[in-house]
Amino acid sequence: KHHLKGNMENHTKVTEFILVGFKSQPGLELILSVLFSTMYVVTVVGNTCMILIIRMDSKLHAPMYFFLENLSILDICYSSVITPKAALTFSLDRRIISYNGCASQMFFFSLFGTTEAFFLAVMAYDRFTAICNPLLYQIIMNKRLCVFMVVGSYLSGCINCTIQTGFTFSLSFCGPKEINHFFCDVPAVMHASCSDTLVNEIVMLAVCGSIIVGTALVVFISYGYIIIIIVQMPSSESRCKAFSTCSSHMLAVSLFFGTVFFMYAQPGATSSPDNSNIISILYTIAIPMLNPFIYTLRNKEVKGSLKKQLKRK
């Protein structure tokens, strides 16, 4: 009983955490601060432009662009949860984050991160339908299904982030309140707890693992079929065009799922914080920035629309 009481007292004492990611490399901090700030600006500007282009051109009011617009909104949110705070942490050495601030950062990061995985699966399915079932495309990908898929992705994100945040913050935190990361990520916060985290690790592995593997399977099976169809195309020109579109999507998706799998879907994910700091820069900051470029610069319709908009101005 005494042990429990002691735990409860300690549990209420922790009102803040200290984010110590990259603290041991002072020279690196300044570089990271500049890098994070720049990447954040590029992310917001790139994704906002994407949303505006799609909104302003009625030609782009198709399912694929509806998903792209939603991906851009998601990427702005996703990036905003992490990057500004991280840039401030490095530049002003403001490493303290409140207990509630940490919980809400984890909640929204898990929400947007999970939703992103489902979005990538939805977009792969959309491309699969367009290339493998072109005649039925309009009927299959109707407005209702598109809205349902987007809402479904967010709901799945909600379920996962509630589970992850609830389980993580039900742990006791006592002693050093240091989190070896630049934001409140699930494995890093779990690592800072003084409770036994075995159940949490199993839950994270089961829930995140099934989400990552499930959505990744949809993506890779869709692209697998797409590649088979492309290979069978008669003209080499149409083959090249289709391949160039797919290759950029595949690159984005592989980068996202590869890094996320490394972080959340393998046993012992909480044990190597230093590696995970570097890897999380990829999926938290680089991917939201790269998405608009990957999906638009390889896209003739968007480029055409952009030229048209600029001419009007």
**Any idea what the Cα angle at residue 183 is, between residues 74 and 207, rounded to 5°?**
65
How far apart CA 177 and CA 273 sit, in angstroms, is 15
How far apart CA 219 and CA 215 sit, in angstroms, is 6
Asked if 218 contacts 121 with a C-beta cutoff of 8 angstroms, the reply is yes
Task: List per-residue pLDDT tens for the chain, 313 residues long.
Answer: 444 444 444 445 678 898 888 777 677 788 888 999 999 999 999 999 989 988 888 887 888 889 999 999 999 999 999 999 988 888 887 789 999 999 999 999 999 999 999 999 999 999 899 888 888 888 999 999 999 999 999 999 999 999 999 999 998 888 668 888 889 998 889 888 888 888 988 988 899 989 999 999 999 999 999 888 888 888 888 787 777 767 777 887 888 888 888 887 776 655 566 677 888 888 888 888 888 888 776 667 777 777 777 777 6
How far apart CA 147 and CA 24 sit, in angstroms, is 46
* Domains, the chain: 16-300 (1.20.1070.10)
Q: Provide the residue type at 29 as one letter.
A: E
Asked if 191 contacts 94 with a C-beta cutoff of 8 angstroms, the reply is no
pLDDT given for residue 47 in this prediction = 93
* Beta bridge mates, 16: 98
CA-based torsion, 244, 248, 249, 254: positive or negative: positive
How far apart CA 34 and CA 268 sit, in angstroms, is 32
pLDDT given for residue 274 in this prediction = 66
CB hemisphere CA count around 197 (13 angstroms): 23
| Helical ranges in the chain per DSSP H | 2-13, 26-56, 63-92, 99-132, 137-140, 143-168, 186-191, 198-231, 236-264, 273-281, 287-296, 300-312
